[in-house]
Amino acid sequence: MGQVSVFSSSSPSLVIVLSLLLILFISEGVSGSTFTFLNRCDFTVWPGILASAGSPKLETTGFVLPKGSSRGFQAPTGWSGRFWGRTGCNFDGSGHGTCSTGDCGSGQVECNGAGASPPATLAEFTLGSGSQDYYDVSLVDGYNLPMIVEGTGRSGACTSTGCVTDLNRRCPNELKVGDGEACKSACEAFGSPEYCCSGAYNTPSTCKPSVYSEIFKSACPKSYSYAYDDATSTFTCNGADYTITFCPSSPR
């Protein structure tokens, strides 16, 4: 007697079960995370998006987000990259222009693979492929906007992180940009190895918090304040969707 295929008409229930499992497996593998951007500032923000090397480009690399508005989109599992907000932008009718802070140098609303010009508050993500996501809000490249990241994963709410404080108001004069539009990092302002964690200072044991990074850390305890601030500034979540809010302490 020949072998009976499990896909024969005599076992339709098994075919259905296997088909459902296949659909579930595929959907889990490609669904990724939903990122939702909210603008609670009393001015327009132009978010910028930069995918890491080897990660696919998302549906946009930069867009306009008027005050009080939101926008969401999907990122696939395994995606890695960063988000930030540009301010003081002036784009003409054809979409060409520049921004006062966080400008990506593309001359357009879309950043087209270019990153933020410091100083800029950065939200950084690595989405796990069947494992944990990693995320943080970094002030290593300075600060321009209050920002908070909140996630909801398979086990419920994830740890929120970011910088709710308007650090521009606390910025030391030697780090201040213009009339207080942004606050440079000490590395950007002075270029010294001890501030940049470079040269002889490129290890956790030699690169220590500076008086400037401690100002950032005091104002924003969950944010990266310098290059080796991993222990208190990197967070994980399993299979989460994320909300990135600009000016989160502003009235809803």
pLDDT of residue 250: 59
The CATH fold of domain 33-246:
Thaumatin (2.60.110)
List the one residue out of 52, 53, 58 whose CA is nearest residue 71.
58
Count of beta carbons in the 10 Å neighbourhood of residue 15: 14
List the one residue out of 239, 38, 232 whose CA is nearest residue 145.
38
Whole-number Å distance between alpha carbons of 196 and 125:
22
Tens place of pLDDT for every residue, the chain, 252 residues? 444 443 344 455 544 444 444 434 434 444 689 999 999 999 999 999 999 999 999 999 999 999 999 999 999 999 999 999 999 999 998 889 999 999 999 999 999 999 999 999 999 999 997 679 999 999 999 999 999 999 999 888 899 999 999 999 999 999 999 999 999 999 999 999 999 999 999 999 999 999 999 999 999 999 999 999 999 999 999 989 999 999 998 554
Render pLDDT for 169-227 as a digit per residue (tens, 0 to 9): 999 999 999 999 999 999 999 999 999 999 999 999 999 999 999 999 999 999 999 99
pLDDT of residue 91: 94
List the one residue out of 123, 133, 179 whose CA is nearest residue 153.
133
pLDDT of residue 43: 97
Where along the chain do its domains lie?
33-246
Where do runs of H (alpha helix) occur along the chain?
Answer: 12-31, 186-190, 193-196, 211-219
List the one residue out of 113, 158, 159, 121 whose CA is nearest residue 141.
121
